[in-house]
């Protein structure tokens, strides 16, 4: 397994932290909520055996800067684009989970010239969520609404980060013990640091801008090959037809529902997900 190298660089006006491993064509892994780069710990080594892997903490998360603004997905995608410019990377495969998939979706729409392929893990696009908002969706997506409130979530959760994370992560996984205590401690430390909650919640508070950006180019298909992968046993994913949602956005679509997995398939079923991601990327990115 290639060692993880931690780096910091200034990109798009913020100080970004990223992990790097391997050599060759570049694969970027974008984490979701409530995670950091560490979410991809199972994938980095195997992917780095074939590719150069870049794993950033998104704006507002982990060890990356947490500015007051810039959490709309176009700006967050531009963070990644500028990171690639700084690192002199010309072509990339993008893999994103949850919030990272939202950033990735905006990236592959806005920067088609540098994207060879895109994998979205367990993500219902923002436009779909808010166009179909009703009582059932609101209950399933309660955290969208709660974390979108100004100041109150930070006040209620501060000092109780471990309790909050344990509740979310155990309810989102098929096996509530899928994540170890050590993993929970890593995430608790990240969200307990100054600005740790604020950064993540500003990501959710940008939903209005994200919704408008999604609507503005809804008719624009994602041109590159896309893999939509999700946890077959995640309740929110069962409420929608994931394959239909993504096929409407991406004509070159492959899909995979991962059995005995909730919202965190890359952490719950890492071997199966890693194999699926490598099989997908190998098809379109080996000679990039």
What's the CATH number where 33 sits? 3.40.50.1820
Q: Can you give the residue range of the structural domain that contains 67? A: 5-285
**Ordered per-residue pLDDT tens for the chain, 288 residues:** 447 899 999 999 999 999 999 999 999 999 999 999 999 999 999 999 999 999 999 999 999 999 999 999 999 999 999 999 999 999 999 999 999 999 999 999 999 999 999 999 999 999 999 999 999 999 988 999 999 999 999 999 999 999 999 999 999 999 999 999 999 999 999 999 999 999 999 999 999 999 999 999 999 999 999 999 999 999 888 899 999 999 999 999 999 999 999 999 999 999 999 999 999 999 998 765
Model-level pTM? 0.97
Q: How far apart, in Å, are the Cα atoms of 132 and each of 143, 191, 208?
A: 16, 30, 15
Phi, psi of 254, rounded to the nearest 5 degrees: -120, 150
Active site residue 204: yes
Annotation says 263 is catalytic: yes
**DSSP 3-state of 71:** coil
Catalytic residue chosen out of the listed positions 57, 72, 79, 98:
98
31, 97, 263, 285: the catalytic one is: 263
The catalytically annotated residue of 18, 38, 174, 204 is: 204
Strand 52-56 and strand 14-21: the pairing is antiparallel
| Domain count for the chain | 1
């Amino acid at each position: 397994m290639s060692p993880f190298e931690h780096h910091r660089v200034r990109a798009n006006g913020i100080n970004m932290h990223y992990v790097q491993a391997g050599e060759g064509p570049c694969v970027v892994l974008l984490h979701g909520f409530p995670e950091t780069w560490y979410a991809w710990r199972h994938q980095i080594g195997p992917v780095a055996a074939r590719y150069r892997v870049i794993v950033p903490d998104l704006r507002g998360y982990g060890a990356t800067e947490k500015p007051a603004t810039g959490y709309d997905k176009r700006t967050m995608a531009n963070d990644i684009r500028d990171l690639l410019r700084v690192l002199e990377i010309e072509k990339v495969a993008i893999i994103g989970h949850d919030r990272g998939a939202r950033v990735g979706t905006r990236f592959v729409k806005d920067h088609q010239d540098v994207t060879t392929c895109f994998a979205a893990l367990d993500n219902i696009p923002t436009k779909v969520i808010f166009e179909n908002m009703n009582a059932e969706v609101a209950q399933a997506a309660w955290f969208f609404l709660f974390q979108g409130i100004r100041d109150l979530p930070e006040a209620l959760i501060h000092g109780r980060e471990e309790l909050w994370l344990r509740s979310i992560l155990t309810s989102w996984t098929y096996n509530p013990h899928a994540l170890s205590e050590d993993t929970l401690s890593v995430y608790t430390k990240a969200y307990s640091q100054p600005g740790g909650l604020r950064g993540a919640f500003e990501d959710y508070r940008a939903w209005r801008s994200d919704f408008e950006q999604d609507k503005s180019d809804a008719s624009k298909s994602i041109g590159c090959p896309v893999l939509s992968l999700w946890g077959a046993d995640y309740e929110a994913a069962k409420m929608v037809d994931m394959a239909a949602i993504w096929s409407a956005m991406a004509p070159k679509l492959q899909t995979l529902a991962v059995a005995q997995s909730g919202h965190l398939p890359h952490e719950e079923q890492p071997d199966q997900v890693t194999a699926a991601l490598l099989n997908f990327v190998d098809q379109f990115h080996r000679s990039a």
